[in-house]
Amino acid sequence: MRWRYVGKCVLCGLLCVPAAGAQDRSDIPESLPSIPESLPSQQPTPQQTAPAQAMPKDRLAWELAGFKIKLGVQVGLQVVGEWNSWWNLAQTFAPTSDFDPNRYWFEGYVDTGFTVHKQFNDKLGFAGGVSAIASGNARKDIFDAGDSGRVLFENAYAGVTAKLSPDVTLALSGGSQKYKVGNGMLLSNASGNGFERGATVFGPRLAWKNTGILQFSCKRVEFSGFYLEPNELKSSDSHTKLAGANVQAELRPNEFVGIAYVTAFQSEYPYIQAPITLIPNGRDGLQVINPYLKYSPAKNRLPGLMVMADYAYEWNPRINMQAWAFSGEVANTFVKTKWMPTLSYTYRYYSGDNPKTGQLERFDSLYYDGSPTSFSSGSNGSLAFYNSNINLQRLGLNLVISQRDFLDVMYFHVLASQLNSPIQFGQGFRLTFENGKPSVITGVPNARLADDFFIGYTRVVNRHTYFNAGFAYSFPGKGFDMITNGTDKQWPGAYANVVFNF
């Protein structure tokens, strides 16, 4: 799911900004095809890991006057249950809200459309596509929104590719499409889900509302310039517009190093500064430098070892802002061991605002990839924590039980980077007294926020059908205990879904 600032939260009586990245906890296959993204996904999809076999003729694809046309349909149905939602914070911060922390709901979507490709000659090619998603919820979800849905365009793009020489390629594309920079720490999933659009946990919408992307490739180096406009919820549209450039060098297939520059040249997205000052249009004028890496350092001796690293430095002179973030991950797949286990360790730090400096240091994660195997800040906790003013450690174990069965196990240890500083808009808002004088503060007085456990199972039923189920359990940390006087509770949640892909 991706969320925006929507005002007072009925869940805990706080001003909350749900995470900007996708928060889905369902390992569904990729949606309908579009112009290839600049980078492949970090984790294999069920299609990639399913057993190799002779593929029958695709009845949804044909060729007309040299144009290759492919229709696609994807349908997802899901049931989700949550108990003691938000660690039962509503009991402390909004006891009169009548919010039920225990609930279940149903959600679903239909994604359908087509792509068109044509190679005019050995130098010039064309690609385009259109798709729409119908999504909705039945019953009220964890954000107390539901019984609603929308039918909206997802992809609507066109692009041309020109081969200027054997080593040089120029590509230009525009419209509504997916686009990802680096590992997805800042720019990846940019379409709002949930609330009036439904499909809260599925989060099927991923594409940017409008893009303009120019790519120049010379051998293994690609230079890109881009314009991006997110497809935000109508109920909370920040009217953000981004532009930037990216330089990436391919080291090996699916391995790369690069650096990107991004600026928000228009935005109404507000920022919060400690202790509790709202900065209107805070994102407007933001600038970011983002170097990144994905690399296997010992390909011959340890072919399953992979290292990923991301760094981001943000500044905005207009509001005296400087913030930074770092992410590092080491993973190794034991390719000769039964079930091919992949063990991974991840550390991430997102700066928070120090209330003593007078400068804004709260990191803005923009439109990050919030899937569990990517930049999610927990299992259930990912629904509550925006990737700002937190640091976390994650341990992961992925098993290939068979060519059709996959198991993921993850543990998240989540801390606040700055004490008594906003985690979300107004989270932990309370009145305190120092030397008899009242003051309003936010955040938590102890860094420990939560310990999250997640287990997910995927079954490839056949080449068109995928079953997924997962269970999450979140333990509140001492930081929450201290501001709720121990009324916070452990937060379990579960889901099960089936996805049909044609």
Instruction: Note the pLDDT tens digit of each residue in 349-404.
Output: 999 999 889 899 999 999 999 888 899 998 888 888 889 999 999 999 999 999 99
- Kindly list the domain boundaries of the chain, sorted by start residue: 46-501
* DSSP designation for 222: E
Q: What is the mean pLDDT of residues 215-234?
A: 96
Of the pLDDT bands very low, low, confident and very high (cuts 50, 70, 90), residue 16 is very low
Q: Which of 54-63, 80-89, 95-104 has the lowest mean pLDDT?
A: 54-63
Within 8 A by CB and 6+ apart from 329, the residues are 306, 307, 308, 309, 344, 345, 346, 347
Beta bridge partners of 312: 325
CA distances from 140 to 9, 195, 232, 329, 357 (A): 15, 10, 21, 36, 42
pLDDT at res. 175:
97
What is the spatial distance between Cα 314 and Cα 287, in angstroms, rounded to a whole number?
A: 6
Q: How far is CA 219 from the centre of its chain?
A: 30
For residue 341, what are its two tokens? Answer: 């286990």
Residue given tokens 């190799």 in the structure block: 52
Whether the per-residue pLDDT at 34 is higher than 70: the answer is no
Q: What is the pLDDT of residues 308-358, one digit of tens each?
A: 999 999 999 999 999 999 999 999 999 999 999 999 999 999 999 998 898
For residue 127, what are its two tokens? Answer: 């690609």
Whether the per-residue pLDDT at 410 is higher than 90: the answer is yes
pLDDT at res. 7:
34
What is the spatial distance between Cα 193 and Cα 103, in angstroms, rounded to a whole number?
A: 19
For residue 69, what are its two tokens? Answer: 């046309």
Of the pLDDT bands very low, low, confident and very high (cuts 50, 70, 90), residue 38 is very low
Of the pLDDT bands very low, low, confident and very high (cuts 50, 70, 90), residue 277 is confident
Q: Which residue has the higher pLDDT, 87 or 11?
A: 87
Residue 121 burial (CB < 10 Å; 0-12/13-18/19+)? exposed
In this structure, the dihedral spanned by the alpha carbons of residues 474, 478, 482 and 488, taken in order and rounded to 10 degrees, is 20
Q: Looking at the structure, give the CATH architecture of the domain made up of residues 46-501.
A: Beta Barrel (2.40)
Q: What is the pLDDT of residues 480-497, one digit of tens each?
A: 888 888 888 999 999 999
Q: pLDDT exceeding 70 applies to what percent of the chain?
A: 85
Q: pLDDT exceeding 90 applies to what percent of the chain?
A: 69
Task: Single out the residue of 443, 345, 462, 474 nearest to residue 403, CA to CA.
Answer: 462
Task: Single out the residue of 79, 132, 89, 88 nearest to residue 110, CA to CA.
Answer: 132
Residue 297 neighbours by CB distance under 10 Å:
11
Q: How far is CA 380 from the centre of its chain?
A: 14
Q: Rounded to 5 degrees, what angle do the CA atoms 114, 115, 121 make?
A: 150
What is the spatial distance between Cα 501 and Cα 204, in angstroms, rounded to a whole number?
A: 13
User: pTM (2 decimals)?
Assistant: 0.86
Whether the per-residue pLDDT at 23 is higher than 80: the answer is no
Whether the per-residue pLDDT at 502 is higher than 50: the answer is yes
Q: Give rounded-to-5 percent helix, strand, coil for the chain.
A: 5, 50, 45
